[in-house]
Structures are given as structure tokens and as C-alpha cells.
């Protein structure tokens, strides 16, 4: 099956103050390689989706064309298919967008900690996210007990990272974020969705610079979850399909800004369809130095170590709490008579047959075991990331 290669133009050298716009300073590089069939998985208007995908990957808004020449005609974004003879597309930027350009960091996913309760500040973050999102996963509607308060920009990246990356990509000051535990950097997600965030799962917000919500028969702001792999559990269970709408809160001032969703989407596109040359360009021409002025692995090290130490104390406190709870449960089990609390808890089952009650209890036990297993996986993953 033939694949479409999308090219973007990169500068040979990037300075913090201004980019040299002379054509001799720019060269075309293959950035995305994807089959037309895969494009149709994400949108019924393939050119529009490809324009969005390459746009969020390079961090600038432009137009697609079938030629690399300066005099070009944009493709038909309303087309429902791409001709078989179109094997290469070129993403053109005007001078203003070339100045704004800031590609996706290939290390955007690195140092991601799956747990979201390591520090006191992060505990407050989880409470805020739970409150805003109604204690339900915004995608699968799973109860909060099965969910993580997920950071869109990984917590371990630190405050400085999210400050730089939002300022470089923002189109208004309202999109600037100074604190990695800002409520706007979070979503309540089923833990299976959180594990794939930015790798196998991303969120498409429309309208955006390349796509209209009306493409999907809607006229207002919409956010949908896209699965980049064929896994029935990537979005929280077989009942949740790719393209499912994300529940958006009423107060958009508390909702993540467009640029954070764009970064997560760009990361997933890079993982699945990005070329080695695209990854190289982030480091080769100075973009990495702007995001990691102290070098990769050093900028957030002190904050990261502090969070781990605090996390150990939090774990100890949690174990103490669980032990006390178990002791209270043991005392209740040895009582000869039912107290008022026991009777209230038993009321829903008075008219339920014994067989149905046993089935219900078995389901509850299986859910508890699944939750415990997921927690163990998360804990192992957390320490694995620390060792890296």
C-alpha cells in the first residue's frame, strides 16, 4: 500500500530573537509518512486532517500543496479523498508563521509519571480536576476511583518546561501556563487512557486552523478522543470507540487551552507517523536548546527528586490509613449483631435473590482485583521511569 509523505521546511539555524527568513536558510524535510487508509481513520476530509497534523507537529499554521515551489495552489481541504497519484505534500508557511514555528519535542512523553498523587501540590491538583470533571472520566464516564488526574504536559517536566512550551506556541496570553499543576493542564481520565496519552491516545479539538467542527455536523466547540492503535481498551473499554466526544466543562477558563491538546496530538502523530528526519530537526537547529536551556534531564531534576521523596511519605501515610481502615473492618466482622450502618448497607439487597446477590458480589470482587492490578502496574511503571 502506497504512503503519503508530508514535507515541511525547517531553518538551518534558529536564534532566540529572530529566524533568518532567507530562502537559502531553509530546506525541505520529510516529516510524516502515512497511508491514505490511516488518514481516513481520523477524518472524512483527509487533506484537512493532514494539514492539522503537520501543523501541530511543526508548531505553525500553513497550507498544503502538491508542489514545493513558492508559487503554489493549496489543496482542496473539502475533498473526501486523496488521488492515488498524490504521494507527496508540502506544508508552506508565510514569514510570520516561520517566526512562530516551534516543533513538537520528541521527548514530550519522556519522564511521564503515571501516578498523579505524588506531592501535596499534586494532591490538590487531583482534587481540582475531580471537582471540575464531575468525578467521572471525560471520555469513558468511568467513576473517579478508576481514573487518574492526568497531566497533559507531564508533571516530571516541571514548571519551566510548560512555561516555555506554552509561551512559544500560544496565540494569546490566556494560553500561557506557568504551573505544571495548573488545573488547565489536567483531565480526569480512565487509567488505561492515561497510560496511552500522547502515544496511543490524543484529543482533536475543532474548530482549529485547518478543520471545522461542521465537518462532523456540529457548529460549536467539540473535542473528540482518537485512538491510534486498534486496542478495545485504549479508550477505557470496548464500549468507547475512537471519535467519541470528550465531555467539556461549562467554564472554558478552567479547561485546557487548545495548544495543550495540540501538543498531545502532535506527540501521538510523531510516535506513529513521524520520520527520523523530523526527530533530528528538533535537536539539529536550536529548538531543543530553547526548551532545555540547562540540558535534557537537568532542568527539572531537583523538583523531580523532591516529588519522589514526598511521594514516599504519601505512600507511607496511605498505608497507615489503609491499615486503620482494615482494622475497623475486622472489628465489624467479629460483631455478633448488625448495627445501624450494616442494616442501611443491606437495604438494597433485601429483595435480591441469593444467586443474583452472589453474582453481584463476584462482579464487585473482580472489579476490585482489576483496580488493584492496575494500581500495581502503575507503581511498577512509576519506579521504572524513575530508574530511566
Same domain, 87 and 137: no
194 and 278 fall within a common domain: yes
Listed residue (151, 169, 261, 273) closest to 207, CA to CA:
261
Whether 270 and 258 map to the same domain: the answer is yes
Q: pTM (2 decimals)?
A: 0.75
pLDDT over threshold 60, residue 142: yes
Cα 103 from Cα 385, distance rounded (Å)? 24
The answer to whether residues 24 and 132 belong to one domain is no
| CA 375/CA 385 separation, integer angstroms | 15
Do residue 156 and residue 250 come from a single domain? yes
Asked, for residue 159, whether it belongs to a domain, the answer is yes
Check whether residue 287 and residue 309 sit in a common domain: no
Whole-angstrom Cα distance, residue 149 to residue 116? Answer: 6
- For the chain, the farthest-separated pair of C-alpha atoms sits apart, in whole angstroms, at 88
Domain span at residue 181 reads 120-303
115 pLDDT band (50/70/90 cuts)?
Answer: very low
Q: Are residues 365 and 383 in the same domain?
A: yes
Tell me: do 157 and 9 sit in the same domain: no
Over the stretch 227-250, which tens digit does the pLDDT of each residue have?
999 999 999 999 999 999 999 999
CA separation for the pair 270, 32 (Å, rounded): 8
Alpha-carbon distance 340 to 198, whole Å? 48
Place of cell 521527548: 107
Q: Is the pLDDT of residue 314 over 70?
A: no
Cis before 207 (ω within 30): yes
108 located within any domain: no
Least confident of 156-160, 183-187, 301-305, 343-347: 301-305
Looking at the domain assignment, is residue 226 inside a domain?
yes
Please count the other Cβ atoms lying within 10 Å of the Cβ belonging to residue 199. Answer: 19
Tell me how many domains the chain contains. Answer: 4
User: 190 and 275: one domain?
Assistant: yes
Mean pLDDT value across residues 382-386: 53
DSSP 56-95: HHHTS--EEES--SSS-----TT-SS--TT--EEEEE--H
Q: Is 212 exposed, middle or buried (0-12, 13-18, 19+ CB in 10 A)?
A: middle
Same domain membership, residue 298 and residue 179: yes
3-class secondary-structure state, position 387 = helix
Q: Residue 349 above 60 pLDDT?
A: no
Q: Is residue 31 part of a domain?
A: yes
Task: Assess whether 279 and 134 both reside in one domain.
Answer: yes
Tell me, yes or no, whether 111 lies in a domain. Answer: no
Same-domain check for residues 22 and 158: no
What confidence score (pLDDT) does residue 341 get? Answer: 42
- Could you identify the residue written with the cell 488493584? 372
In a domain, 256, yes or no: yes
Examine residue 325 and state whether it is found in any structural domain, yes or no. yes
> What would the grid cell of residue 22 be?
532567507
User: What does the pLDDT look like over 249-300, one tens digit per residue?
Assistant: 999 999 999 999 999 999 999 999 999 999 988 887 778 888 887 765 544 4
Residue 105 forms part of a structural domain: no
Amino acid at each position: 500500500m502506497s504512503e503519503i509523505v508530508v514535507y515541511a521546511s525547517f531553518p538551518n539555524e534558529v536564534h532566540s530573537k529572530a529566524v533568518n527568513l532567507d530562502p537559502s536558510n531553509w530546506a525541505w524535510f520529510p516529516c510524516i509518512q502515512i497511508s491514505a487508509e490511516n488518514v481516513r481513520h481520523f477524518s472524512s476530509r483527509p487533506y484537512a486532517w493532514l494539514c492539522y497534523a503537520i501543523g501541530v507537529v511543526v508548531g505553525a499554521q500553513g497550507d498544503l500543496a502538491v508542489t514545493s515551489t513558492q508559487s503554489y495552489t493549496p489543496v482542496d481541504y473539502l475533498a473526501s479523498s486523496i488521488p492515488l497519484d498524490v504521494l507527496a505534500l508540502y506544508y508552506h508557511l508565510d514569514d510570520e508563521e516561520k517566526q512562530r514555528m516551534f516543533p513538537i519535542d520528541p521527548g514530550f512523553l519522556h519522564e511521564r509519571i503515571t501516578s498523579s498523587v505524588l506531592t501535596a501540590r499534586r494532591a490538590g491538583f487531583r482534587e481540582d480536576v475531580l471537582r471540575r470533571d464531575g468525578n467521572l472520566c471525560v471520555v469513558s464516564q468511568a467513576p473517579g476511583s478508576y481514573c487518574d488526574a492526568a497531566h497533559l504536559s507531564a508533571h516530571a517536566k516541571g514548571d519551566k518546561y510548560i512555561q516555555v512550551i506554552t509561551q512559544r506556541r500560544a496565540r494569546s496570553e490566556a494560553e500561557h501556563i506557568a504551573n505544571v499543576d495548573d488545573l488547565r493542564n489536567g483531565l480526569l481520565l480512565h487509567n488505561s487512557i492515561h497510560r496511552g496519552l500522547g502515544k496511543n491516545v490524543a484529543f482533536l479539538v475543532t474548530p482549529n486552523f485547518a478543520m471545522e467542527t461542521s465537518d462532523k455536523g456540529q457548529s460549536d466547540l467539540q473535542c473528540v478522543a482518537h485512538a491510534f492503535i486498534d486496542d478495545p481498551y485504549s479508550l477505557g473499554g470496548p464500549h468507547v470507540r475512537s471519535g467519541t466526544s470528550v465531555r467539556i466543562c461549562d467554564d472554558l477558563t478552567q479547561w485546557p487551552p487548545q495548544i495543550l491538546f495540540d501538543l498531545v496530538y502532535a506527540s501521538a502523530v510523531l510516535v506513529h507517523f513521524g520520520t527520523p528526519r523530523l526527530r533530528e530537526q528538533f535537536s539539529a537547529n536550536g529548538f531543543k536548546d530553547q526548551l532545555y536551556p540547562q540540558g535534557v534531564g537537568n532542568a527539572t531534576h531537583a523538583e523531580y527528586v523532591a516529588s519522589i521523596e514526598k511521594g514516599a511519605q504519601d505512600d507511607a501515610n496511605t498505608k497507615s490509613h489503609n491499615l486503620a481502615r482494615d482494622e475497623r473492618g475486622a472489628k465489624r466482622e467479629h460483631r455478633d449483631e448488625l448495627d445501624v450502618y450494616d442494616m442501611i448497607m443491606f437495604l438494597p439487597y433485601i429483595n435480591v435473590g441469593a444467586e443474583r446477590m452472589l453474582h453481584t458480589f463476584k462482579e464487585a470482587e473482580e472489579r476490585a482485583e482489576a483496580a488493584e492490578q492496575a494500581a500495581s502496574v502503575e507503581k511498577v511503571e512509576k519506579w521504572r521511569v524513575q530508574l530511566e
